[in-house]
Each structure stands twice: as structure tokens, then as C-alpha cells.
Amino acid sequence: MKKRYLVDIDLDELEKFYWDVIIIGTGIAGLYTALNIEDKYKVIVITKDKINENNSNLAQGGIAACMNEKDDINLHIEDTMKAGSYYNDKDAVRILVNEAAENVEKLIKFGTKFDRDELGNLMTTKEGGHSKRRVLHSKDQTGKEIIRALTEEVEKRDNIKIIEKAFAIDILTNKTTAFGVLIKDKIGESHVLHSKATVIASGGIGQVYGNTTNSSTITGDGIAMAYRAGAEITDMEFIQFHPTAFYSEADKKRLLISESLRGEGAILRNNKGETFMENYHQMGGLAPRDIVAKAILTEMKNENKENVYLDITSKGKEYIKNRFPYIYKECLSRGIDISKEYIPVCPVQHYIMGGIKTDYNGRTNIIGLYACGEAASLGIHGANRLASNSLLDGIVFGSRAAKDINENIDSRNIYIGSLVYKRNYKDNQINLKESRYKIQEAMNKYVFIFRKYKELNRAYKLVIEELERLYGADYESKEYYECINIATVAYLTIESALRRKKSIGSHIMIEDMGG
Ligand code: SIN
């Protein structure tokens, strides 16, 4: 169920700009890919908001990499596979882990400052599913530090231009090949950016749920536009719910409470103050995320409560303020002093393992179209991502996409043909806010951690209806594009969930799929 483009197009009528490479998204995958493109090529990186308004910038815990002799690459591979319920592509996992150190070194060369001990050694923490301490961090704002360093590096490069507040509406294709992107700039003018290679690095899907740790900008745009362009989309049912987001009745945009708190000794407690994770998994509170989220939801249901608690009070104020300054401050502003009080937490949407299908070099099934980072899916994370493997995914496969582009771009031409597309408007009036809210409600209610066949079907019908109404509407606004992208991703997620009849990893069916 799709329309090819969201707007009427006549290529001859539009102002055109020519680039070698277009990158959509300024998170870690987008910026790192840009920095790995040879400087003889002209690169434009576009973002619909500000450069740092993305999920990478919000990443707290860190980046997993086997960087010291106490660790073993094979253990990182095994931890990744185990967390992913062995649904992972093992060769992709091997690449991820083997190429981790060289890319982390490059991040450091670009100016990223990870925490170090008094001897200058990189400090590490542990997170769920890891058998060793291998998560490098920069206090509790690792992503922000990486984005700062990469942004400063990009600003030094003459061949890279960043455009903020430019909305990528659709990928333009001829029969076989992607040849550019239709964008609306910050003053609402539409343009065509022509390119020899286009990279989708626009991140995940958080706002499809609304109840999410993700930035408010994350509306699944890249996955939806790739789908419209004919790219293969895969494994969309595998949604990761972070076990510990700050719970408050009012707040929908959830503050992430990093798993690294548990890595440093924080304990999960139910509403009676009892510990419970030992009843669910031998790794306790540091079990893989799907298991912890499931356990928390079970406790919440048993107690008929909206949250459980995370207790880090044993660590003392000085330690907490120094190691987790951001979380300390943010919780305090919400009325909780985490050095004295338990933190109310609940699971919310955090990440998607599925997305645009790529090979190991970021190539999609459309010539000239690449994807990397959370928008892409090549089986690294299996049915549930191991903690702190996502920033790593962004750099390892961003660098591989850049290498493939560097090696092949000279053999590609800029397309200069024509393209005319007319939509069929029914001109019905839709309240976009209401439509978006309806979809989010259905996703949170029926496509959450525990899934039932009947409920998935209910959500499916609702989303299809909404999508059809949206396709028929005559709007040209960011709100409209985002709403239709949210509906498209919701549709793809439910459709995929309905096809997978058995539970695995983050896809948990608690009622028979009915044959
Ligand atoms: C966290 O700090 O708990 C989140 C890191 C991740 O998503 O891997």
C-alpha cells in the first residue's frame, strides 16, 4: 500500500543543484559517512531541524568496542548474537566487532573525548547483555560529545556543506537508479538535489509511538521515503523498548535513564521495594534489554502499576554527580534527587532493529541509494540490539558506505532526464494532529512489548484507514509529510509483525497467531 511520491513533481519546473553525494541526516552515521568521503567529492548533508537535533546526540551510555587485552572480540560477537536471539547475520556482526577499534580510533582522531583514568587509559562500563566492561563513554552524554567532535570536523572540510531545516520529501528514481532528492527548504521552496550517490542516515522511528526516548524529530522519514522509492524494507517488527525511561504521568517524551546506571550498580525494584530481576534471568538487571523490558512490564502488570523503580542511592551523591551529571540534573528538575530517592521508570520505544535492507557496504537494492545507522538493517542486531552497539553500527557501516561510494562514484553519471508525477487528491480535510495521535495511540496500545494477533489486526486496520485518508489529502507541509511517514512506518511495522507468527527477541506474541 503506497503512493510513489508525496507531492506533484515536474522536474523541469524545479530549481536544481548538483552534488556528488547527498546524505540525509546529521546523526553519527550521517556525519561520519560524510567525513569518510574523499575530499575531491562534493557532499551535502541535510537535516530537517538543527544539526544536533537527533538521537545520536541523546545517546547516554556509550559505544561498545573491544579495545583492551582483558576483552576478546569473540565475546563481543557472542554477546551481540545472544542479545539478538541468534537471529543476527553473523558475518555482519563479525564486521561490526572487528572494525570497531579502528573506527573508534578515528572518532578519537576527530576530537572525541572519551572518559579516561588518571593514567590516560580509556574507561569502560558495562551494560545489559555484555559479558565484559567494554562500553566507552563520555560521562552520561557520550552521543553529544561525539556529535560535537564530528560537527567541528565537518566544519573544517571545504567539500562538505550542511543544510539545516531542509526537509527531504522523497528520493527521486528512474527505472533502476536513485538520482537525487526532492527537498523543501526552510522558507518552503522546493528544490531538486541531483547526486551520484544518496545516503539515508535519518535514524529511527520514535515518533511512530510518541512514547519514546527519541528526539521529537524522529518520524521514520528515511524508511518511509525509501519504501516509496521501492527499496526493500525488512524486520520492522523488531522494535526495542528501553527498560528504563523516567516515568511521569504528564511526560510523553521520556528521559532516558541509561543502562550504564545498572552497569555501575543501580538495582531495579518493584513497587514493594523488592528486587525482582533475579527471578527472570541469571544476568539479573544486566540481562539483554528485551528480557529486562519484558520483566518490568510483567511486574507492572502484576502490581497494576504504571512503573517500577531504579535505585542508585547506594553510590552516594559525589559519585553520582560526577559520573552521571546529566541524569542527576534532569531527574532533579523532575523532582527526584537520585542520590536519595528511587527513580520511577517504565519501558518505552527506543530503537528499531529493522529498516532499509542493505548489504555490508550500505547498498540498497536501488542503484546509487545507500542507507546506514538506525534507518538501515543488515541483520547486525538480530531480534534485539545489544546495548551500545548502535553508535558503533553508525561508524562501522557509515565508513563502509563511504568507501563503496569512493570506489564507485566515478562510474556514475548525474541523471538529467525528465520526471512528471501527478497525485490524485480527494481533497478531504484531515486534522493532522489527531491523525498522528490516533496512530501513536494504536502503536502504544496494540504494538507494544506483548502482542496479540487480534490487537495487531485492529491496529493494522486503523493505520491503513488513516494512511488512505492521508494519501488523499491535499497538504504540502512538514506536518503532513511527517504524519504520512509515521503512518507508513506504522503500517510496515504491523504488517511485518503479522507475518511473523512466532515470538523471537523483541517480538513477543502472547496469543496464538491463528494459523
Ligand atoms: C543507554 O544508555 O541505556 C542507551 C544506550 C543504547 O541505546 O545502546
Ligand 1: centre distance to CA 258 (Å): 6
Q: Which atom of ligand 1 is nearest to the CA of 388?
A: 8
Ligand 1 in contact with 141 (CB < 6 A)? no
Which numeric CATH code is attached to 17-238+353-411? Answer: 3.50.50.60
For the beta carbon of residue 151, count every other beta carbon within 10 angstroms: 17
- 343's grid cell: 527513580
d(CA 129, CA 283): 8
Q: pLDDT means per 10 residues in the chain (515 residues)?
A: 88 95 98 98 98 94 93 97 98 98 98 98 96 97 98 98 98 94 95 97 97 96 98 98 93 86 97 98 96 97 97 97 98 97 97 98 98 98 98 98 98 87 84 97 97 97 96 92 98 97 95 52
Dihedral sign for Cα 36, 39, 44, 46, please: positive
Q: Which amino acid is at 381?
A: H
Estimate to the nearest angstrom the gap between the alpha carbon of 79 and the chain centroid: 20
Q: Where in the chain is the domain with CATH 3.50.50.60?
A: 17-238+353-411
Q: Which amino acid is at 515?
A: G
Q: Which residue is listed with cell 521515503?
A: 225
Ligand 1: centre distance to CA 61 (Å): 5
Q: What pLDDT is attached to residue 413?
A: 86
- 379's grid cell: 541483520
Ligand 1 in contact with 140 (CB < 6 A)? no
User: Which of 54, 57, 60, 389 has the most ligand 1 atoms within 8 A of CB, as the residue to mutate?
Assistant: 60
Ligand 1 in contact with 244 (CB < 6 A)? no
**Of 113, 204, 99, 122, the residue nearest 150 (C-alpha):** 113
Ligand 1: centre distance to CA 350 (Å): 9
d(CA 192, CA 210): 31
Ligand 1 in contact with 213 (CB < 6 A)? no
Ligand 1: centre distance to CA 59 (Å): 6
Q: Which amino acid is at 238?
A: F
Q: Which residue is listed with cell 495511540?
A: 441
Cβ atoms of residues 505 and 238 within 8 Å: yes
Q: Which atom of ligand 1 is nearest to the CA of 142?
A: 2
Ligand 1 in contact with 390 (CB < 6 A)? yes
Q: Which atom of ligand 1 is nearest to the CA of 128?
A: 3
- Phi, psi dihedral angles at 421 (to 5 degrees): -140, 130
Ligand 1: centre distance to CA 128 (Å): 9
User: Which of 63, 126, 259, 268 has the most ligand 1 atoms within 8 A of CB, as the residue to mutate?
Assistant: 259
Ligand 1 in contact with 384 (CB < 6 A)? no
Q: Which atom of ligand 1 is nearest to the CA of 351?
A: 7
Ligand 1 in contact with 388 (CB < 6 A)? yes
- 351's grid cell: 530503537
Ligand 1 in contact with 496 (CB < 6 A)? no
- 160's grid cell: 562538505
Q: Whose CA is nearest to atom 2 of ligand 1?
A: 61
Q: Which CATH architecture has domain 425-509?
A: Up-down Bundle (1.20)
Q: What pLDDT is attached to residue 1?
A: 63
- DSSP3 helix / strand / coil % (the chain, rounded to 5): 40, 20, 40
Q: What pLDDT is attached to residue 515?
A: 39
Q: Whose CA is nearest to atom 1 of ligand 1?
A: 258
Q: What pLDDT is attached to residue 513?
A: 47
Q: What pLDDT is attached to residue 122?
A: 97
User: Which of 144, 240, 258 has the most ligand 1 atoms within 8 A of CB, as the residue to mutate?
Assistant: 258
Ligand 1: centre distance to CA 92 (Å): 21
d(CA 450, CA 347): 12
Q: Residue 309: which region, alpha, beta or left (left: phi > 0; alpha: psi -120 to 50)?
A: beta
Three-class SS of 251-288: CCECCECCHHHHHCCCEEECCCCCECHHHCCCCHHHCC
Q: Where in the chain is the domain with CATH 1.20.58.100?
A: 425-509
Ligand 1 in contact with 391 (CB < 6 A)? no
Q: Where in the chain is the domain with CATH 3.90.700.10?
A: 244-347
Q: Which residue is listed with cell 523483541?
A: 506
β partners of residue 200: 24, 371
Q: What pLDDT is attached to residue 253?
A: 64
Ligand 1 in contact with 245 (CB < 6 A)? no
d(CA 245, CA 212): 8
Q: What pLDDT is attached to residue 424?
A: 82
Helix (H, G, I), strand (E, B) or coil at 473: coil
Ligand 1 in contact with 60 (CB < 6 A)? yes
pLDDT digits (tens, 9 = 90+) for 21-59: 999 999 999 999 999 999 999 999 999 999 999 999 999
Ligand 1: centre distance to CA 347 (Å): 13
d(CA 233, CA 225): 11
Tell me which residues are annotated as active site. Answer: 289
Ligand 1: centre distance to CA 500 (Å): 26
Ligand 1: centre distance to CA 290 (Å): 13
Q: Which amino acid is at 314?
A: S
Cβ atoms of residues 238 and 383 within 8 Å: yes
**CA dist 367 → 199, 279, 389 (Å):** 11, 50, 28
**Of 196, 190, 171, 166, the residue nearest 181 (C-alpha):** 171
Q: What pLDDT is attached to residue 69?
A: 86
d(CA 236, CA 238): 5
Taken as a whole, the chain contains a residue count of: 515
Q: Which CATH architecture has domain 244-347?
A: Alpha-Beta Complex (3.90)
